[in-house]
Amino acid sequence: MENILSVKQIKKSFGGVHALKGVDLTIKKGETHCLAGENGCGKSTIIKVISGFYKPDGGTIEIDGKNYPVMTPAEAIKAGVQVIYQDFSIFPNLTVIENLAFNQVLANKKKLVNRKEFRRIAEEAVSKINFDVDLDALVETLPVADKQLIAISRALLDNAKLIIMDEPTTALTKKEVSRLFEIIDQLKKNGVTILFVSHKLDEVFEISDSITIMRSGENVISCPTSEMTEEKFTYYMTGRHFDANDTEKTQRTIGKPVLEVNGFSAPGFEDINFTLHAGEILGVTGQLGSGRTELSLALSGLLKPTGGSMRLEGKEVSFSSASKAQKAGISLVPEDRLTEGLFLPQSIVDNITVTRLDDLGTAAGYVNHEKVLNESASWVKEIGVATKDHTFPVSTLSGGNQQKVVLARALATHPKVLILNGPTVGVDIGAKYDIHNLLKQLASEGVAIIVVSDDTAEVIATCDRALIMQNGRITGELGKEELTAQNLAAAAG
């Protein structure tokens, strides 16, 4: 089988930091090739080199048998390379038609808009993948999965031979992931090659024909997927051997009730009842729209309840804000760390200590900077945030380390109840393992924990039992022995 892409000994540095140290990547025509590696390993950099966004410091690029001494974005597109980034690079304030036709009209240097021509182009684009969508709808009104399919349809209009999908399933539900994989299979049958960038074990083994794993800007291994095992994949990704039973070695005792919820209702859910104990990790799972996220918001003071009651250590409580919930002992790690959990331009120090400033001040009411720095340094060490200097902006960290910062801030309030909504979304295998271990350790110290997640493997790995939500109600409960992938899938519908 011929190669669609062959890059050899690609090097790229930024200010003395070697992002790529002689990377090789070969992809055969008509295959789905997975590019894997932890955050910061160089995956995004090699993608930008292939697409002409970055000029490499050394190495060669060959696409479909043609060598490109200097690759530009225009040349990459002309050669058939299309990149679909996580934000899809589409215009939310334009219609589907306008998003699909815009590039082609610009490429043809047309100055006037022909609505019939726009519609013809859009209809041709969506027909290539049998995508049923309202062409006149504003893109911002559509679900994430549809936005992704718009990006794929647009790529095919430019006669894409190689489509690079960068972490394409991060914001998708299981059903949407299945639909995407069907599209990928269809594209392969039509002769399109896919470079699938991911670090999710189950997806890699399901969709890919071959795998390349990177670590610290270098190749670790390239091989057919059939020659890879989950254990090998994890080791090549992280350089670490994980004991699947490590997280179970901490002995835990389930203590007294800490949080009791009765007939609890708010916009998005109703009549929720459960009791959470000290040292317990309770899972709340269900599909998108089940009410699981709204429940986490209401418990932590971010959504006003419309009925029912909540008792914390036997005392009835009601919170009008997240800060009041935190002072009472309930802290939330939100679903989206980038928009809800972090002040990206601010330092790691500021992000960790922002909820503790009242306790880290002087008698005169001024912030004690020495106390602030010491508090941050303590949590950086405790949580294992990988950084050379905690005064650096939090935006300099990888996704997994950013998530650890959000977690550190929640723990800095010394919560009695810790609620985590999607605690490991978008983090790599190593960070996921570390966070799961940390949750087990916190529970062994008596913290009551709620893990809100649709990640079946995560619920099984961390939780003592799980509540199943559908249409805003609890429809089932599974004990530790019942927590299997099959049971969770059946219960969630």
Q: Are residues 184 and 298 in the same domain?
A: no
CATH number for the domain that contains residue 343: 3.40.50.300
Q: Are residues 111 and 210 in the same domain?
A: yes
Please report, as a single letter, which amino acid is at residue 67.
N
Q: Are residues 169 and 198 in the same domain?
A: yes
Strand, coil or helix: 126: helix
* Residue 493: predicted pLDDT: 65
Burial class (CB in 10 A: 0-12, 13-18, 19+), 86: middle
- Taking every pair of C-alpha atoms in the chain, what is the biggest distance, in angstroms? 74
Q: Are residues 436 and 464 in the same domain?
A: yes
Q: Are residues 114 and 55 in the same domain?
A: yes
Tokens encoding 267: 């916009």
Domain end call among 189, 220, 242: 242
Q: What range does the domain containing 22 cover?
A: 3-242
How many angstroms separate the Cα of 372 from the Cα of each of 232, 341, 411? 42, 19, 15
Angle (CA) 474-477-483 rounded to 5° is 135
CB atoms within 10 A of CB 398: 19
* Residue 249: predicted pLDDT: 47
Question: What are the 10-residue block averages of pLDDT along the chain, 493 residues in total?
Answer: 92 90 96 90 93 95 92 92 86 92 68 80 91 93 88 88 89 82 92 90 91 94 95 89 57 90 97 98 92 96 96 96 95 88 93 87 75 94 91 88 93 96 86 91 96 91 95 95 89 75
- Residues contacting 278, CB < 8 A, separation 6+: 254, 255, 256, 257, 258, 416, 446, 447, 448
Backbone Cα Rg of the chain: 24
Q: Are residues 209 and 150 in the same domain?
A: yes
| Number of compact structural domains in the chain | 2
H or E element in which residue 33 lies: strand 32-36
Strand, coil or helix: 307: strand
Q: Are 383 and 355 in contact (CB under 8 A)?
A: no
Domain end call among 213, 242, 271: 242
* 36/327 Cα distance (integer angstroms): 41
Q: Are residues 151 and 288 in the same domain?
A: no
Q: Are 181 and 207 in contact (CB under 8 A)?
A: yes
Q: Are residues 77 and 112 in the same domain?
A: yes
Q: Are residues 315 and 212 in the same domain?
A: no
Q: Are residues 350 and 397 in the same domain?
A: yes
CB atoms within 10 A of CB 203: 17
Q: Are residues 126 and 193 in the same domain?
A: yes
Q: Are residues 200 and 336 in the same domain?
A: no
Domain end call among 214, 242, 270: 242
- DSSP secondary structure letter of residue 393: B
Query: What are φ and ψ of residue 129, in 5° steps?
Result: -125, 20
